[in-house]
């Protein structure tokens, strides 16, 4: 730990080294994180609940374990936040909705349980689009999170609070969920790293569902290494999640120091080159990222993919049909309790037929087979666009539509492949741009290897937004 390095700038890896060397304590890390939240969150609106008492208790337990020679892994003593669709025992879990405003689960979600058992420090719950869909909205119990790079712009969603909290430096890591891009889009808009693991790699038990066959759980973090360290804790088979994959958990950092020489990376340029949302800045940054990977020794070649529109139509049909099935009873009996945007989005699933869903699932199988048996048989990974423009201002969102668009994340929810979002540059007004590295099923180590090599060479991950600190809120934060 450098004497000149602020404690809140330490990565998970560096904080872990300092904790184990006795240079800092989990209590110090936690108090610093709580101070950051108190000073910055009144402007950012990332948190819907700050669990002060729980955080301090977790920190004391982590410090006691260190003192007794007990090492629970890379998250021990590290503050983190959970998207407010992750059930937390005896702690309010609202899904950012009036329907669950006072809901208090009796048990933890699988991820919350794993993080607690690993010695992590829960700082609180962060905001989301209502039920992970339909935002940003201003008619909900909590305001939408704001983009730390420009508070007049939105964060993307639905893991909006997770991305904002990490980008602002309130926590190093926050958990999100991804059904059509809800980890990767906000990670991209907020200039942080986000990983959608392979479908089934991380248990979704205890996470409020949006689409049973598309939902993924994963982390948002400052860096690829921090992402990998969090994955080491949260990944693993869960017999109580029907979609959980019974496969070995690899060492997610094992390849991260390896060179890219010999790797073959397909560049899905056709996904965006004719897309009307694509800005010149995004196109230039994506091409530069491809060139950077080639300069690191990888063979980078353009690869033909099925039209993005096929993936998008497939994803939307499955998502809206399954989301409507989940919410059907409440949509019929308590429609007034939903926010306008979530209601309008969810109710659209009512017009879909069984035939629509069957055809979408058939197309899904064809697209997944093409990607894995054709494209990824010839290439180790793909470089793909994440979003084709920077975050829109809140002023561009009307009550029934928005200023979003140009997010190209959905294809890899359809196929279930691991996909890593990472920054690839900034435009003139300071807002970030992002790309995805996509890998073969359960080959997150190669995805992380490529992401870490690019990150080290490009240097964008080290940039942080500058936010005005406000007077700390003392102990007025909810417990």
Two structure tokens written together for 85: 């669709």
Residue 255 known to be catalytic: no
Helices (H), 45-95: 52-67
Two structure tokens written together for 434: 């992002």
Question: β-pairing, 193-196 with 216-221?
Answer: antiparallel
Taking phi over 0 as left and psi of -120 to 50 as alpha, with beta for the rest, 398 belongs to beta
Residue 182 known to be catalytic: yes
> For the packed helices 280-295 and 444-458, what is the interaxial angle rounded to 10 degrees?
100
- For 346, the 3-state DSSP assignment is helix
CA angle, 311 as apex, 322 and 281 as ends, to 5°? 120
Residue 353 known to be catalytic: no
Nearest to 383 by CA among 300, 446, 468, 445: 300
CA distance 113 to 203: 11
- For 267, the 3-state DSSP assignment is strand
C-alpha distances out from residue 351 to 213, 214, 272, 286, Å: 19, 20, 30, 38
C-alpha distances out from residue 236 to 162, 199, 307, Å: 22, 12, 33
Neighbours of 299 (CB within 10 A): 15
Q: Which of 83, 196, 315, 341 is catalytic?
A: 83
- Judge contact between 260 and 298, C-beta under 8 A: yes
CA distance 49 to 103: 13
Helices (H), 334-402: 340-347, 354-369, 376-378
Q: Which of 11, 158, 203, 211 is catalytic?
A: 158
Question: β-pairing, 419-426 with 381-385?
Answer: unpaired
Nearest to 230 by CA among 380, 429, 420: 420
- Judge contact between 267 and 302, C-beta under 8 A: yes
Q: Which residues are catalytic?
A: 83, 158, 182
């Amino acid at each position: 730990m450098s004497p000149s390095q602020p404690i809140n700038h330490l990565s998970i890896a560096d904080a872990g080294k300092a904790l184990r060397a006795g240079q800092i304590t989990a209590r110090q890390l936690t108090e610093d994180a709580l101070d950051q939240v108190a000073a910055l969150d009144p402007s950012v609106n990332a948190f819907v609940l700050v669990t002060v008492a729980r955080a301090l208790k977790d920190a004391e337990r982590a410090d006691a374990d260190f003192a007794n020679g007990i090492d629970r892994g890379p998250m021990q003593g590290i503050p983190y936040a959970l998207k407010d669709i992750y059930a937390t025992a005896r702690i309010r879990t609202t899904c950012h909705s009036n329907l669950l405003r006072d809901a208090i689960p009796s048990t933890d979600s699988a991820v919350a349980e794993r993080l607690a058992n690993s010695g992590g420090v829960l700082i609180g719950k962060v905001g989301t689009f209502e039920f992970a869909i339909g935002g940003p909205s201003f008619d909900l119990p909590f305001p939408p999170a704001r983009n730390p790079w420009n508070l007049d712009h939105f964060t993307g969603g639905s893991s909006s609070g997770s991305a904002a909290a990490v980008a602002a430096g309130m926590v190093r890591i926050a958990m999100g969920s991804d059904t059509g891009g809800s980890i990767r889009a906000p990670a991209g808009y907020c200039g942080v790293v986000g990983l959608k693991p392979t479908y089934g790699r991380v248990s979704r038990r205890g996470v409020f569902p949006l689409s049973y066959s598309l939902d993924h759980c994963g982390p948002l973090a400052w860096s690829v290494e921090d992402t990998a360290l969090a994955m080491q804790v949260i990944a693993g088979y869960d017999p109580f999640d029907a979609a959980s994959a019974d496969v070995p958990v690899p060492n997610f950092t094992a390849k991260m120091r390896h060179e890219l020489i010999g790797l073959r990376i397909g560049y899905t340029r056709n996904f965006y080159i004719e897309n009307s949302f694509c800005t010149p800045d995004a196109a230039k940054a994506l091409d530069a990222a491809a060139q950077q990977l080639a300069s690191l020794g990888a063979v980078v070649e353009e690869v033909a993919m099925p039209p993005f529109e096929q993936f998008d139509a497939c994803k939307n049909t499955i998502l809206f049909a399954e989301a409507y099935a989940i919410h059907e009873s409440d949509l019929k009996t308590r429609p007034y309790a939903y926010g306008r945007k979530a209601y309008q989005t969810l109710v659209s699933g009512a017009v879909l037929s069984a035939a629509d869903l069957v055809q979408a699932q058939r197309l899904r199988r064809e697209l997944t087979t093409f990607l894995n048996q054709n494209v990824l048989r010839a290439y180790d990974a793909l470089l793909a666009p994440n979003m084709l423009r920077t975050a829109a201002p809140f002023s561009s969102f009307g009550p029934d539509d928005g200023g979003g668009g140009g997010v190209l994340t959905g294809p890899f929810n359809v196929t279930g492949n691991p996909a890593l979002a990472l920054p690839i540059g900034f435009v003139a007004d300071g807002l970030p741009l992002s790309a995805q590295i996509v890998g073969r099923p359960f080959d997150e180590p190669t995805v992380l290897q490529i992401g870490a090599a690019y990150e080290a060479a490009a240097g964008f991950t080290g940039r942080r937004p500058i936010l005005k600190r406000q007077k700390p809120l003392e102990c007025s934060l909810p417990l």
